[in-house]
């Protein structure tokens, strides 16, 4: 989904016009919490969520948290709702499941640790525990009240922050900032804090741990592209970030093609891109790669990377508190 530009502009006339609908949306979110009797599993649940729609980097942060938990020698599972997945309440099998079956994010997570896919978080958590999970990392679901969380991180994009601070459709928020942060145990700012998230929290006297970090590309995956002319394409939350990263690493990005977040590529899409490239090297992200037919993927260069905390020890100290 390409978000409207006015979502980033304070006091825009369209935001003011749509604010009543935002109030209704926020009321619906709050009502779900009031009506739901949440389930508590017997192991810690760490939720990595956000307050706004669109890509803020939740899945990369999940993987970064996972690397910290590995140091605690705990057997953890990921829990993912499976965006547009065909299967529910399943343990991802990389040999037999595709992104169409369980969602693109679940495939990425499953390369790191056992991953359960279920849009019913409580049921999925029970499945993970039955399979031997000693801890659950829940990718998304901060606004889902069905499961009690032991620790909740709100991930915020440093450039976009909380946008115009309005709730959908007047702005990008799923719920009012202060209400959401009242349930959080920490905030993770991804990238440079251009929006002023830290100042916002201080101004509103929100006393939460603030972790910072950034996405770092795998140098080995990008090295062969330096000095080359490429056609870069992506179907992620903020594809422009990917293109800018390539340029910053010395890649000559001649043209780009952007698709909606979680886009599932057809053979026609990729064959058209190969034809359009006309000698340029086709480049995409690891998240996009899992949704491309394998025989065609051989003709595309894939860039991978990871989210890295600026202060891993600080993040580790917070996570250790759940055990």
Closest CA to 285 of 192, 222, 220: 222
Residues 315 and 284 in one domain: no
Residues 15 and 117 in one domain: yes
**If you ran DSSP here, which 8-state letter would residue 300 be given?**
S
Residues 91, 114 contacting (CB under 8 angstroms) = yes
Residues 226, 245 contacting (CB under 8 angstroms) = no
Number of independent structural domains in the chain? 2
Domain that holds residue 165: 5-215+309-320
Return the ∠ at Cα 297 (arms to 292 and 299), rounded to 5°.
145
Residue where the block lists tokens 């989904």: 1
Q: For position 26, which CATH number holds?
A: 3.40.50
Residues 27 and 164 in one domain: yes
Spatial distance between the Cα atoms of 206 and 199, rounded to a whole number of angstroms = 10
| Structure confidence at residue 1 (pLDDT) | 56
Residues 208 and 244 in one domain: no
Residue where the block lists tokens 């040999």: 95
Residues 118 and 254 in one domain: no
Query: How does the average pLDDT of the chain come out, rounded?
Result: 94
| Structure confidence at residue 107 (pLDDT) | 95
Residues 286 and 199 in one domain: no
Residues 237, 260 contacting (CB under 8 angstroms) = no
Residues 156 and 47 in one domain: yes
Closest CA to 234 of 305, 171, 174: 305
Residues 77 and 142 in one domain: yes
Q: Which residues contact 270 (CB under 8 A, 6 or more apart)?
A: 292, 293, 296, 300
Spatial distance between the Cα atoms of 127 and 110, rounded to a whole number of angstroms = 15
| 99-133 CB burial, b ≥16 within 10 A, e <16 | bebbbbbbbbbbeebbbbbbbbbbbbbbbbbeeeb
| Structure confidence at residue 140 (pLDDT) | 93
Residues 40 and 169 in one domain: yes
Spatial distance between the Cα atoms of 174 and 142, rounded to a whole number of angstroms = 10
Residues 211 and 230 in one domain: no
Residues 255 and 181 in one domain: no
Assign 276 to helix, strand or coil. Answer: helix
Query: What stretches in the chain show pLDDT beneath 50?
Result: none
DSSP of 71-119: TTT--EEEEE--TT-S--SEE--TTT--HHHH-HHHHHHHTTS-EEE-S
Residues 76 and 178 in one domain: yes
């Amino acid at each position: 989904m390409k978000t409207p530009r006015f979502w980033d502009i304070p006091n825009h006339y369209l935001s003011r016009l749509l604010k009543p609908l935002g109030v209704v949306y926020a009321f619906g979110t709050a009502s779900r919490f009031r009506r739901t009797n949440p389930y508590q599993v017997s192991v810690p649940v760490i939720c990595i969520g956000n307050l706004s729609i669109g890509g803020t980097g939740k899945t990369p942060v999940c993987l970064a948290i996972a690397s910290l938990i590995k140091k605690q020698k705990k057997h953890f599972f990921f829990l993912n709702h499976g965006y547009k997945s065909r299967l529910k309440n399943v343990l991802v099998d990389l040999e037999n499941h595709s992104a169409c079956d369980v969602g693109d994010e679940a495939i990425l997570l499953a390369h790191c640790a056992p991953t359960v896919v279920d849009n019913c978080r409580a049921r999925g958590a029970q499945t993970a525990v039955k399979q031997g999970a000693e801890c659950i990392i829940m990718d998304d679901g901060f606004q889902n009240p069905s499961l009690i969380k032991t620790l909740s991180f709100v991930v915020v994009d440093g450039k976009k922050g909380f946008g115009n601070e309005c709730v959908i459709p007047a702005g990008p928020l799923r719920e009012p900032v202060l209400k959401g942060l009242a349930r959080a145990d920490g905030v993770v700012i991804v990238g440079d804090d251009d929006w002023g998230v830290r100042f916002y929290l201080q101004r509103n006297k929100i006393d939460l741990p603030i972790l910072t970090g950034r996405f770092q590309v795998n140098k080995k995956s990008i090295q062969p592209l330096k000095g080359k002319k490429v056609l870069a394409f992506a179907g992620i939350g903020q594809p422009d970030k990917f293109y800018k990263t390539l340029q910053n690493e010395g890649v000559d990005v001649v043209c780009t093609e952007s698709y909606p977040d979680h886009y599932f590529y057809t053979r026609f899409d990729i064959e058209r891109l190969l034809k359009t490239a006309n000698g340029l090297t086709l480049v995409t992200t690891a998240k996009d790669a899992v949704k491309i037919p394998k025989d065609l993927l051989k003709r595309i260069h894939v860039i991978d990377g990871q989210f890295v905390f600026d202060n891993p020890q600080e993040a580790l100290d917070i996570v250790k508190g759940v055990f």
